[in-house]
Structure 1
Amino acid sequence: MSAVVVTRADRDAFVARVHARAVRRVARSVGQASLVIGAAFWAIFLVTTVGVPLVVHQAGGVMGGGVMTGAEYAAPWFALSLGMIALASLVVPHLAAGGTRRSLVVGALAAALVAGVAYGVAYALMLLVERGLFGALGWEWQQLGSGLDAGGAWLVVTGVGEAISVVVYMLVGMAAQAAYRTFGVWRGTALLLPGLALLLLVDHATRNGAFADALGGLGLGGDHAPAGLGLLQAVVVLALAVAWMWWQVRLLRLRPTR
């Protein structure tokens, strides 16, 4: 009976296939949940975006700005909570099934990017719906908040900025969940500070979100910035968020239940 010889190339190919399969499963699990739950989130904002102006118009009033500013603030925080929930629900079965931290990070990052693009597109389309409705009602529409100076490309720049913000917030949520699992309540809470710094930085770069408004109110950030510079800064913050999430997942240790 001849022995089966397994070469290093065979082992590497097998490991690569297993890794790719694990990445796909993580990306599918997190991505599908983000898109399905996100669809409900944006459906609520669609009803609100259309319904509130119609009610105000029926009552004889006029709105100076729409309700999509609420989506600008809410969508990234919604993504952050999804990131925390996704990692909390997935990490134990993933590692117990033999998955690696690397495949968990790569799959989660792929899902976050898909969610970010979807949310950014939804946000831009909803702005178009709101502007069209205001025009049909004879109202003047203006995008509330500061934003980036983009000229005629404002819609694309706004959608891209929102997409990057969503990805950063989602990754920071995953990093926070990993930190709590590894270090417990007190040290995990302390490790929220670097994550909050990343949120502040991406809001400042895109000139969108609650932190951007807070900085503007304190006189620490201008209302507008060149679109190219702002988006470049946002991409740098995104890279830092990826590194922060990878670092926390790399350190991840599952504690026994008490």
Structure 2
Amino acid sequence: MDTSIGLQFLGEILGTFILILFGGGVVAGVVLDKTKATGAGWVVITIAWGLAVAMGAYVSGYLSLAHLNPALTIGLAAAGNFPWADVPAYVGGQFIGAFLGATVVWLHYYPHWKATKDQGAKLGVFATGPAIRHYTSNVFGEVVGTFALVFGILSFGANVNIGAGYNPLIVGALIVVIGMSLGGTTGYALNPARDLGPRIMHALLPISGKGGSDWAYAWVPVIGPLLGATIAATAYKAIINHEVSAWLFVSIIVLVIVEFIAMSADKKAGNN
């Protein structure tokens, strides 16, 4: 990038803010009571989330690399395609943008929180949750979905037939198909800032009638995307550039360890 790291930091804030504003906004419109979009359904949510990612990338793309996702940033750094020194600024900007976006969604739908009795629906505006709580499968689902996202993004960037100006829309389409095909199990976080940032705001904001923030599950949409993105970025480099990074083996080993821990947690909780 020709811009300073300060401007890139600002770009990640703005882009992630837009991503959460539109993404969290559509979920609020669909699941909260007495909105004009109440009950519009999963298809509306998945399409709007894809467009939210695209719009966020367009907003930030002239300032930063429009990662908008700590998993993508860290995965690219592990693959040697992004400087580790810039990771804190990018990840910090992404979380700040997520905090701001979640707060504005809360304010925008302010009277609807009181009108909605379902505490799970209120949390769902801010953070993902599993359709069936089975940590082993939930982690695997987030890894697979994020792998598909990052491998797809890298493939789009290498495809000379796609104009650079269309890349955000293509990535948005990828988000839509991931949501429709794979997202029904966990809500397809794919992005630690997208899930953890708003989850923190759910815990902090005085939301009328809210319940708990489900911290027992919060590690899944953080660890899963980080591992999926790192495996995807390093595997892509190994396949396309024939450069094998130690991070590929480390991330696979960590995934195996995490899955064994998840299996133990499922067994203890009776999640068979």
Shared fold per TM-score greater than 0.5: no
TM-score (norm 2): 0.38
TM-score (norm 1): 0.39
